[in-house]
Structure 1
Amino acid sequence: MNIDIENIAFDEKGLIPVIAQDAFSGEIRMLAYANKEAIKKTIETGYAHYFSRSRNSIWKKGETSGELQEVLEIRIDCDNDTLIYMIKQQKDIACHTGNRNCFFRAFDKEKPSLMPFEILPFLERLIKDRISNPVENSYTSKLIKEGLDRIVQKVGEEAIESVIAFKNQDKKEIAYELADLIYHILVGIKYSNMSFEDIELELIRRHKS
């Protein structure tokens, strides 16, 4: 269903809240506001534009920092009064504090818990860091140092163990072995200078075709 910009329920100041959500990880990167002109600029350029309530002006996210947000799709809620920019975040930083997102604090603890949808991106970042900054006594660093042949050997071993787990039909065993397999696949992906996004995009391509 196409939404006409004229049907958006702006507030009395002509603004609407906009959630910037990572189109690949599902992560909520930030929340800001937009007016009609900011939305039009976003549509025209393909990059996130917002309206600054403090400066009373439109701003393009990342224009000076390079932390641009490519907008892949704009979604609207059932009441037409909230938008989501489905984005691809440049430089992997969305918050002015230098954090990945603006929601890096939790009310009842020092930092937010790791949620299920966050674990794959977290592991990708961890593996990437181990490639750039090896850590002594780290299994990941050791595996990467041993090279591609060792990595693919481990993928093969874990795949066989996963097949056995499926044959045994033990849910706990299946989850355990698949976790090992997925982890080693991620190591292979990062070693190959790729991202899990590449696999997600291929799956989408197949779904469309």
Structure 2
Amino acid sequence: MEELFWSPVRLSISIAFVAGVFVLFLGVILAKVMSTTRFKGRLLIETLLMLPIVLPPTVIGFFLIVIFGRNSPIGSFIEMLFGQSLMFTWWAAFIASAIVAFPLMYQTAKTGFQSIDKGIEEAAKIDGASNGLVFLFVSIPLARKAIIAGFVLSFARALGEFGATLMFAGMIPGKTLTLPTAIYVAIDSGNMGLAWAWVGLTVTISFLMLLSTYLIRD
């Protein structure tokens, strides 16, 4: 019984953490680029980056199946390369979680970069620092509160991902059965005690994650 309870918890945390780290790096880089450069089509690209936050998770899951399914060129290549389909694997759950979590990381980091006094960055460049050094040792430290808050929010969002994960990764016990899908299975099977236990744990983690973002920003 104990293993039955903790298995989806460990799986969800591992997927959410890896997805959070991935979108942390990708989101910070893209947020810096989009907050400091102006180019044709920028608004369209930014809209596409933020689209997962408003799309129904089932729509995201549908597109993931179309892109990575066995009948797609990418899906066929992956299956030929690794000997198995990407669908219904740990990596499928990771991809679904990363996609839905990315907009939170991106937007929060972008807000942090936009709040930086540009004079400080320019002063570092005048002193001889390259753009890369300014980004690493000036921009990121100055925006660190927003970046940390973005990571926490994206982790919490990845932890709670359900629709896209269910469609693309399924709910295989010990493999792709995450906390949200485990709650669904428990309710569907009439095991309300187990469902309540998972719900309580999810609410507690989500509450603490959200609270920490306010404490970080203060």
Scaled by the length of structure 2, what TM-score is found? 0.28
Please say which structure displays the higher CA radius of gyration: 1
**Relative contact order, higher structure (CA 8 A, sep 6+):** 2
Q: Indicate the structure with greater helix content.
A: 2
Q: Indicate the structure with greater strand content.
A: 1
Scaled by the length of structure 1, what TM-score is found? 0.29
